[in-house]
Each structure stands twice: as structure tokens, then as C-alpha cells.
Amino acid sequence: MPKLTDYVKMAADEYVREYGSTELDARWVAEFFQDSGVQEAYPRQDLVAFAEMVQKELNNEDERANKKAAFHLDKMIRRIKFPPKP
């Protein structure tokens, strides 16, 4: 049986692939909660708490992606050789 954190990561990854957004839709997460087996695997798990965990994971992934993009841009800029000033 997958851990709850595995379900959270799966939900976040699937949501970004489908919608390309980091703002979680309540209907989507409710469907995922029911259809993916989270409800059966963790019957005491609250949907609202699960949605909050998925939103937090989406925010973390977005932050990591922004940092990675900034790092690569900085790296590219440093490689540019400017002509000497006269």
C-alpha cells in the first residue's frame, strides 16, 4: 500500500501535468481522493487535510522550479562574454 505522501506527490504531479497550474481545484482533488484509492487506503483521512497537503506540495514544487530556473539563467548569463569597453 502506498504511503499518504506518495498519494500527495502523485496528485500534485498529475494536477500540474493536466492543468499546468499550482492553484488546486477543489473538485479535481475530491475526484482524485476518491478515484485513486486514497479514501479506501486511508479511511480516516480528511479530504480537506489531503487537499492542503497537495496544495503545499504544489507550492514546494513551484518554488523548486523557480529556483532551478533562476540558477540556470544566472549560469547562462555568466557564460556570455561581453566585448571589452573602449
The pLDDT value recorded for residue 76 is 84
For CA atoms 57, 62, 63, 67, the dihedral sign is positive
Closest CA to 40 of 8, 2, 5, 11: 2
Cα dist. 55→41, 60, 61, 76, 77 in Å? 20, 9, 10, 31, 33
Mean pLDDT of 57-77: 91
Residue with cell 549560469: 75
Q: Is residue 64's pLDDT more than 90?
A: yes
The pLDDT value recorded for residue 83 is 74
The pLDDT value recorded for residue 80 is 75
The pLDDT value recorded for residue 66 is 92
Q: Grid coordinates in use for 40? A: 479506501
Chain segment 6-51, per-residue pLDDT in tens? 999 999 999 999 999 999 999 999 999 999 999 999 999 999 999 9
